[in-house]
Amino acid sequence: MLKKYDGIIFDLDGTMWDTRKPICEAWNIILSKHPEIHRAPVTETDLNDCMGLPMYDIAARLFPEEKEIIRNTLMDELCTFENGYLAEKGGILYPQLADTLYELSSKYSLFIVSNCQDGYIESFLTAHLMSDFFKDTECWGRTFLPKGESNKILIERNDLKNPVYVGDTAGDARSAEDAGIDFIYAAYGFGKVADDRYVARIDKFSELQEIL
């Protein structure tokens, strides 16, 4: 049994949904309009190595031959189109996500902090009608800071005393450590986290109800 928390902060990709397929579709639509960018279409395998990174770090990985200003401007265009595409198409939700969030929201204040661009979290909330579950969100696209700092901003803004962060990567674990809060490892997601870096592990989203 874990200690009592006054809020649960969630990562998004690999924790609550998987959007690799629609992101590839959206990005390749835009890339087809830029013949000057020399690279093959983006695949889900390409995105696997980028999950959890800030967007300009992803741009550096996917477009290493391009100048920084060019690849970052391109990433801005990709992300803007992606937001609208995902708001309409949605992503793949992990099993029992809505039911579990409904139950948790009756006992805890729920939040999202992600390394995504501004508008991406809103695409998730819009596409899957999740807005009522979450009290506040923060992201790299608004703070342009490491995720740990984004966590701190959200924690202070909401006057949280003892929240817990739920995520699927070592970067998520580090962001919780940087913010001085506990971390729950979503082991079904994209990353690997050492045993000594989390207070609990879940192998499916619905297990949160049991351990909290």
pLDDT digits (tens, 9 = 90+) for 44-70: 999 998 988 999 999 999 999 999 999
Q: What is the distance, to the nearest Å, from the Cα of residue 13 to the centroid of all Cα atoms in its chain?
A: 4
Average pLDDT over residues 23-36: 97
Average pLDDT over residues 23-33: 98
Confidence (pLDDT) at 3: 74
Are the CB atoms for 176 and 151 separated by under 8 Å? yes
Confidence (pLDDT) at 124: 98
* C-alpha to C-alpha distance for 153 and 28, rounded to whole angstroms: 34
* C-alpha to C-alpha distance for 106 and 178, rounded to whole angstroms: 28
Q: Return the number of other C-beta atoms located less than 10 Å from residue 52's C-beta.
A: 25
Half-sphere exposure of 60 (CA within 13 A, CB side): 6
Are the CB atoms for 14 and 52 separated by under 8 Å? yes
Distances (CA, A) of 172 to 24, 31, 90, 160, 181: 23, 30, 23, 19, 11
Chain segment 81-97, per-residue pLDDT in tens: 999 999 999 999 999 99
DSSP 8-state symbol, 113: E
Distances (CA, A) of 185 to 91, 112, 166: 21, 15, 6
Distances (CA, A) of 84 to 56, 117, 121, 152: 19, 12, 11, 28
pLDDT at 111 over 70: yes
Total number of residues shown for the chain: 212
Q: Give the residue, 1 or 178, on which the prediction is more confident.
A: 178
DSSP output for 134-199: -SEEEEHHHH-S-HHHHHHHHHHHTT-SSEEEEESSHHHHHHHHHHT-EEEEETTSS----GGG-S
Confidence (pLDDT) at 57: 96
* C-alpha to C-alpha distance for 36 and 65, rounded to whole angstroms: 12
Ramachandran bin of 187, using left for φ above 0, alpha for ψ from -120 to 50, beta for the remaining angles: alpha
Confidence (pLDDT) at 1: 57
